[in-house]
Amino acid sequence: MSEIIFLPPYVLTREFWRRFAAPSPESLGRSIMSLLVIAESLVCVFWIFTLSSLGDGYVVIAAVPYIYLIISYVSLFLFYRFKRYEYFTFTQLVMLLLMPFVMQWVIGGFAASSGVAIWAILSPVGALMILGTRQSTAWFLLFVGLAFISWKLNHYFAGNAMPIPSNVKDAFFLMNITGTASILYGVLRYFQAQKERVMISLELEQARSEKLLLNILPAPIAERLKANDIRIADHYDSVTVMFADLIHFTQLSEKMPPLQLIDLLSQVFLRFDQLAEKYQVEKIKTIGDAYMVVSGAPVACVDHAHRIAEMAFDMKIALQEVAVKTGLDLNMRIGIHTGPVVAGVIGSAKFSYDLWGDTVNLASRMESTSKPNTIQISQETQRLIKDSYIFSDQYSVDVKGKGLVETYALLARKE
């Protein structure tokens, strides 16, 4: 059986604040409640000493805030011990609501107490920020009801009022106005500060999510998804698709540690990604050591074949730069084909933008049948760029399912 350790009130309050003042949705309510408890406790200490100094006849009045302090810190201890925050909240809201009205009644009504019942507004305000709009309504209605009862019975309370010196009444009046205003302002300011921090965090998370989405999907497609265009499937009459694949990379990877392998692929594909951005083409995916891009989708353009051709030349240069840097013998095959495709997004949890159609298959065959360090293009692509580049003589390659297909090797720019 565990030993119960009794701690003084200030230690409990400090521990309560330390554990539950973190800026999160749940702890925000705990922080606000602890602010109200601490502020009300300080006011109660003021009332106790002020009323007790008036003489023995005012002990009963001073007992009201004293009882409040006892109940508040007993409930605080119980919550700290047993982690039952809902009971602590309910107890504090009840005490915040009742104690000011009871104080007003025993002092002698509105005039004698300088309207001390105004402190009870902290209860519905606290309920609003902690429990939410729906549950706070009942607390506000209770506040209005108690205020109405105080008004109806004010003549009775005033008839039994203890004489209060005018300077004490003035002090109570000042305390009631400035105290409630200060606490409400402080709590609302704290609430607003936490809200602003949450909003900034949400904006950062939204920016991070959008950046991640743009790393996965093309920008126009991402915008359509954010606009709830879930079923995305577009047909493009003419795009240019390129596949690039590192030669003998599987054998090379067997001789490399995993981290070194990943680092090598990162270096290569980072260069390729930078080229894709430079020529405004869309990276579709990487599969192992294979790299696939398209030009003309999802943003249509008339020079899609030229963009891919320029990127292909720069990819060869980039790969050799990595080879020199790492001291490895790196080579690749590149295949390019132009034609119609269907492009769209698949998946509901992990989105993927992809291409379908015979154009994709033939572009892949252009790569797989290409010679090492050669950019092999189809006849359809060659027709679009023939005025700007130098090619090898036409030759045929055997493509599965199509037989012999006329192709060219892209050699250089005419300039």
Q: Name residue 232's amino acid.
A: I
Q: How far apart are CA 43 and CA 32, in angstroms?
A: 17
Paired tokens of 349: 């949890």
CB 120 within 8 A of CB 96: yes
Name, in order, each residue with C-beta under 8 angstroms of 271's C-beta and a sequence gap of 6 or more: 315, 318, 319, 321, 322
Strand locations in 140-205, DSSP E? none
**174-200 exposure pattern, b = at least 16 Cβ within 10 A, e = fewer:** ebbeebbeebeeebeebbeebeeeeee
How distant is the alpha carbon of residue 93 from its chain centre?
32
Q: What is the pLDDT of residue 336?
A: 97
Quick one: CATH architecture of 219-413?
2-Layer Sandwich (3.30)
Region for residue 114 given its phi and psi (left: phi exceeds 0; alpha: psi -120 to 50; beta: otherwise): left
Domain ranges of the chain: 9-209, 219-413
Q: Is the pLDDT of residue 68 over 80?
A: yes
Alpha helix (H) residue ranges in 217-357: 219-226, 249-253, 258-278, 304-326
Residue 17 has pLDDT above 50, yes or no: no
Which residue did the predictor score with more confidence, 94 or 220?
94
- Are 411 and 391 spatial neighbours (Cβ–Cβ below 8 Å)? yes
How many Å apart are CA 29 and CA 16, to the nearest integer? 12
- Phi first, then psi: what are they for 352, rounded to 5°? -145, 125
- Whole-angstrom distance, CA of residue 224 vs CA of residue 397: 40
pTM above 0.75, yes or no: no
pLDDT for 21 equals: 41
User: Which residues, in sequence order, are bridge partners of residue 283?
Assistant: 293
Which amino acid type is present at position 167?
Answer: N
pLDDT digits (tens, 9 = 90+) for 287-339: 889 999 999 999 999 999 999 999 999 999 999 999 999 999 999 999 999 99
pLDDT digits (tens, 9 = 90+) for 29-42: 667 777 777 777 88
Residues 59, 83: contact at Cβ < 8 Å? no
Arithmetic mean of pLDDT, 254-278: 92
Q: How far is it, in rounded angstroms, from Cα 57 to Cα 55?
A: 5
What does the pLDDT read at residue 11?
42
The answer to whether residue 22 scores a pLDDT higher than 70 is no
User: Who wins on pLDDT, 78 or 411?
Assistant: 411
pLDDT (tens digit, 9 = 90+) per residue, 155-203? 888 887 778 888 888 888 888 888 888 888 887 887 788 788 888 888 8
Q: Which residue has the higher pLDDT, 337 or 47?
A: 337
364 pLDDT higher than 50: yes
**Structure tokens, 235:** 């047909």
32 contacts 52 by C-beta, under 8 angstroms: no
User: How many C-beta neighbours within 10 Å does residue 11 have?
Assistant: 12
Note the pLDDT of residue 221.
Answer: 81
How many other β-carbons are positioned within 10 Å of the β-carbon of residue 393?
Answer: 6
Contact 136, 124 (CB under 8 A): yes
List phi, psi (to 5°) of 285: -175, 165
